[in-house]
């Protein structure tokens, strides 16, 4: 929780003024019992109405001043808490964006969502409560004890017995509930996961008629969360009744002992009322303090969970980008390159130390302007291979070179600006088609957007939509078909004219005719680019300058289509299974 305090640095003034005004309010509150005692002893008891009304006016004045200070303090604490929440969310989102695929895969999307929403909200509430009550409640409690001693030392000794008992109860409940709140948040992760999976996969759930099973699974998770919340709730609820019993016993002791002192003439009736009021103030503040501790316990548990993410270091670190005199990253033109655009040297990849390597002994090179086809069975490592070029993952061993430089020696912008990627799963964002395409090149003109869409065979159906390239896509682009989404994502990669274009099974939802037309258009559009085409279809990559055949993470063959038909049995089997005996290039044209 203390690490979260650094986010208060932009709100230092509010963080100081909020507790200051709360303590000023508490200070005026501590004078109330003395005013009431004076009203009783010097006004009501002797029938002095002037003094009684005078003290009544003082009470009203104290109430007005206290209310003003209280509202001011709550305003400052709210401003500081909301600012901390904003800064924390921004920092958390920024940090998550910096993590590699490895850490995101390991943590899980549902956990990250819970950290960013529920946990941060709880931390924000904790900061708000802390600024308002963390100093005020202890100040009132100890201030009431001190003021009680100014009234009567012998009777005030009861406070010295009551206060330690209350501290023991509060600390005991806090110590016991902290680990339970961590379990509650873990259960919340499970509920968030099931909710997210069910909403994202709602069509699959309904297609397989799994609604009842999904509801049952969600019900079990919700029941487990409820049971854990009930468990921690029972422990937390133990605090208020126990503190009430202790304080009320203290009040009874004050009245009992004070009665004898009044008979002796050592105390007045007003002083007894003042002592009871001070004990009541302690009771009220301890109830507030109990609620504060419960809230802070939740906040500390949530803050620790947020810190776990902030302390998570990315396994991939980029060097600072090399800048030229004009401030732009240095890039080598195609004409200047005499080395392979991309080169793999004995590369191996292992995901999260999961046993067998996903890739092993991968070595090949691709020159500028080459088209490299990558084919293989499911799970053979096709996507893993191209993910190493972009450094979405780092090779476990071996080296990957781009323009003769190890990718680990390149800055993030320097590397990623060279590459255009079409991921295996088409992902588009809410907004217009043009806005989505401009993710590839933020300053692309409408004409450039149309050219990229034309090359991706998407301009035809886009122009038929209302607004053309300004057609609004809804969340997840569900108002486009799967093939249409794939073509728009291809256009997004093409518009930036990258030096390296990676098409990761980007035509899986297209028919053969559209696939062939798109490949032909991309070949003209991508002149000079090094293109990597990952596909399950032999027809999609058979015209490539070089075809890499993967089998169980290893290279089973490298060569042209004709060469592999002669030398690679796995490639030959793939072609025969998809096209029969018609495996010539002319058939696919």
What string of DSSP letters covers 43-67?
IITTT-HHHHHHHHHHHHHHHHHHH
Contact in structure between 133 and 73 (CB atoms under 8 Å): no
Q: What is the DSSP letter of 517?
A: H
Q: What pLDDT was estimated at residue 353?
A: 63
How much helix, strand and coil, in percent to the nearest 5, is found in the chain?
A: 65, 10, 25
3-state secondary structure of 453: helix
Contact in structure between 448 and 441 (CB atoms under 8 Å): yes
Contact in structure between 428 and 487 (CB atoms under 8 Å): no
3-state secondary structure of 357: coil
Task: Return d(Cα 24, Cα 91) in angstroms, integer.
Answer: 34
Both tokens of residue 250?
Answer: 């203290």
Q: Which of 545, 17, 32, 589 is nearest to 284 (CA)?
A: 32
Task: Return d(Cα 450, Cα 462) in angstroms, integer.
Answer: 10
Task: Return d(Cα 275, Cα 259) in angstroms, integer.
Answer: 12
3-state secondary structure of 321: coil
Contact in structure between 393 and 387 (CB atoms under 8 Å): yes
CA dihedral in degrees (426, 432, 436, 439; nearest 10)? -170
Q: What is the rounded end-to-end Cα distance, in angstroms, of the chain? A: 64
User: Strands 546-551 and 554-559: what pairing?
Assistant: antiparallel
Both tokens of residue 531?
Answer: 């293109």
Contact in structure between 412 and 318 (CB atoms under 8 Å): yes
Residues 6+ apart with CB under 8 A from 439: 429, 492
Contact in structure between 572 and 559 (CB atoms under 8 Å): no
Residues 6+ apart with CB under 8 A from 491: 437, 440, 449, 452, 453, 455, 456, 458
Q: What pLDDT was estimated at residue 488?
A: 92
397 forms beta bridges with: 348
* pTM confidence score: 0.69
Task: Give start and end residues of each alpha helix (H) in 311-390.
Answer: 382-389
Q: What pLDDT was estimated at residue 321?
A: 53
Q: Which of 257, 291, 296, 292 is nearest to 276 (CA)?
A: 257
Q: What pLDDT was estimated at residue 327?
A: 36
Residues 6+ apart with CB under 8 A from 282: 140, 141, 144, 145, 159, 162, 163, 166, 247
Q: Is residue 328 exposed (0-12), middle (13-18) or buried (19+ Cβ within 10 Å)? A: exposed
Contact in structure between 347 and 395 (CB atoms under 8 Å): yes
Q: What is the DSSP letter of 328?
A: S
- How do the pLDDT tens digits run along the chain, 589 residues long? 556 677 888 888 888 899 899 888 888 888 888 888 888 888 887 777 888 888 889 889 988 998 999 899 999 999 999 999 899 999 899 988 888 877 887 887 777 888 888 889 988 988 888 888 888 888 888 888 888 888 888 888 888 888 888 878 877 877 787 778 778 877 887 888 888 788 878 888 888 888 899 899 999 999 999 998 898 888 877 777 888 888 888 888 888 888 888 877 778 888 888 888 888 888 778 777 777 877 877 788 788 888 888 888 887 777 765 444 333 334 444 444 468 899 999 999 888 666 678 899 899 999 998 999 999 888 888 888 999 998 888 888 999 999 889 998 888 888 888 899 988 888 899 999 999 999 988 999 999 999 999 998 999 899 998 889 999 998 888 888 888 898 999 999 999 889 999 998 887 778 888 888 888 888 888 788 899 999 888 888 888 899 999 988 899 999 999 999 998 999 988 888 887 766 555 444 4
What string of DSSP letters covers 227-265?
HHHHHHHHHHHTHHHHHHHHHHHHHHHHHHHHHHHHHHT
Q: What pLDDT was estimated at residue 303?
A: 85
């Amino acid at each position: 929780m203390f690490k979260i305090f650094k986010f208060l640095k932009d709100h230092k003034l509010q963080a100081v003024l909020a507790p200051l005004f709360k303590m000023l309010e508490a200070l005026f509150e501590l004078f109330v019992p003395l005013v009431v005692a004076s009203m009783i002893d010097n006004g009501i008891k002797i029938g002095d109405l002037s003094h009684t009304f005078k003290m009544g006016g003082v009470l009203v004045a104290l109430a007005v001043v206290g209310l003003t200070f209280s509202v001011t303090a709550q305003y400052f604490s709210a401003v500081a808490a909301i600012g901390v929440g904003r800064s924390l969310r921004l920092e958390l989102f920024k940090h998550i964006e910096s993590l590699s695929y490895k850490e995101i895969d390991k943590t899980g999307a549902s956990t990250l969502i819970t950290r960013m929403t529920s946990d941060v909200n709880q931390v924000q509430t904790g900061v708000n409560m802390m600024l308002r009550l963390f100093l005020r409640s202890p100040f009132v409690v100890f201030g009431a004890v001190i003021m009680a001693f100014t009234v009567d030392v012998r009777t005030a000794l009861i406070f010295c017995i009551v206060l330690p008992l209350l501290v023991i109860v509060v600390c005991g409940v806090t110590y016991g509930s902290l680990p339970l709140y961590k379990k509650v948040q873990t259960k919340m992760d499970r509920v968030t996961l099931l909710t997210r999976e069910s909403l994202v996969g709602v069509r699959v759930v309904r297609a397989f008629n799994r609604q009842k099973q999904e509801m049952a699974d969600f019900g079990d998770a919700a029941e487990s969360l409820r049971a854990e919340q009930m468990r921690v709730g029972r422990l937390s609820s133990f605090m208020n009744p126990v503190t009430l019993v202790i304080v009320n016993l203290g009040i009874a002791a004050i009245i009992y002992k004070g009665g004898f002192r009044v008979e002796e003439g050592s105390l007045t009736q007003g002083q007894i009322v003042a002592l009871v009021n001070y004990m009541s103030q302690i009771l009220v503040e301890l109830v507030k303090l109990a609620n504060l501790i419960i809230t802070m316990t939740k906040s500390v548990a949530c803050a620790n969970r947020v810190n776990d993410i902030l302390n998570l270091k990315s396994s991939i670190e980029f060097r600072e980008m090399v800048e030229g005199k004009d401030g732009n990253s240095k890039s080598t033109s195609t004409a200047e390159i005499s080395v392979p655009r991309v080169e793999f040297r004995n590369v191996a990849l292992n995901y999260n130390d999961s046993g067998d390597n996903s890739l092993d002994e991968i070595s090949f090179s691709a020159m500028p302007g080459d088209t490299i086809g990558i084919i293989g069975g499911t799970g053979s490592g096709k996507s893993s291979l191209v993910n190493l070029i972009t450094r979405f993952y780092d090779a476990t061993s071996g080296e990957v070179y781009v323009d003769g430089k190890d990718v680990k020696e390149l800055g993030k912008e320097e590397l990623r600006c060279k590459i255009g990627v079409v991921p295996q799963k088409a992902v588009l964002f809410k907004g217009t088609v043009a806005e989505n395409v401009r993710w590839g090149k933020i300053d692309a003109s409408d004409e450039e957007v149309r050219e990229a869409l034309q090359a991706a065979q998407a301009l035809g159906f886009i122009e038929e939509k209302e607004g053309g390239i300004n057609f609004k896509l809804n969340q997840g682009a569900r108002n486009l078909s799967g093939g249409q989404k794939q073509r728009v994502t291809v256009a997004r990669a093409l518009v930036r004219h990258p030096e390296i274009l990676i098409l990761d099974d980007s035509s899986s939802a297209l028919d053969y005719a559209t696939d062939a037309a798109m490949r032909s258009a991309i070949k003209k559009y991508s002149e000079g680019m090094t293109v990597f085409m990952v596909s399950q279809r032999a027809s999609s990559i058979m015209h490539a300058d070089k075809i890499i055949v993967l089998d169980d993470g290893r290279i089973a063959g490298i060569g042209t289509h004709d060469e592999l038909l002669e030398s690679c049995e796995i490639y030959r089997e793939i072609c025969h299974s998809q096209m029969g005996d018609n495996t010539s290039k002319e058939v696919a044209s």
